[in-house]
Amino acid sequence: MGNNQSDQTSQYKYEDFNIIESLQTGAFGRIYMVELKSTKELFIMKRLSYISEKEKKMADEEIAMLKLAQSRYTVQLIDCFSFDVDICILQEYCQGGNLREFIVKMETWTVEDKMIKCQMIFFQVLMSLKHLHQLKIVHRDLKPENIFLDKDGNAKTGDFGLLKIKIIQSSYLYQLV
């Protein structure tokens, strides 16, 4: 595969997993909920096409961003490995779903309970953005569907496919592409 992000030693390979569910398919690739055969632990696997130079560049940039952006307030990158003509990005599975789904669940809650939970989620999202901005990273696709809740209800920012590094020169903001 050349000089890509998965050439480094990987802990896992594609055959280590069972596909539980196809979550999303699009031009960017495919997203699956997978189960590690040996432990039954659940993960999210994103399979990106890795054929053309453009696809390789986009996949390598996304992996580099994921590695750079790691914090307790972001969805964790577990591993990257190649399979066939794809590169697979293995990430933590957030059992609580996304924020859009959670907002619907909260409709039956008391106002006080909603306020407490919303403040906690808001704080955690702000901490994620603070972390990203300290690294000069702009998310560019922050929405409820890209904020995930772990098994303990903690909010984590995810879906970093549109992240971009920004640098400040003089009084202008420039985008690295």
Mind telling me the catalytic residues?
A: 141
Closest CA to 129 of 158, 89, 100: 158
Longest Cα–Cα distance of the chain, Å, equals: 55
DSSP H helical ranges for the chain: 53-68, 99-105, 111-134
Q: Which residues contact 14 (CB under 8 A, 6 or more apart)?
A: 81, 83, 88
Q: What's the DSSP call for residue 110?
A: -
| No. of helices (H) and no. of strands (E), the chain | 3, 10
Cα-Cα-Cα-Cα torsion 161, 7, 86, 19, nearest 10 degrees, comes to -90
83 burial level (CB within 10 Å; 0-12, 13-18, 19+): middle
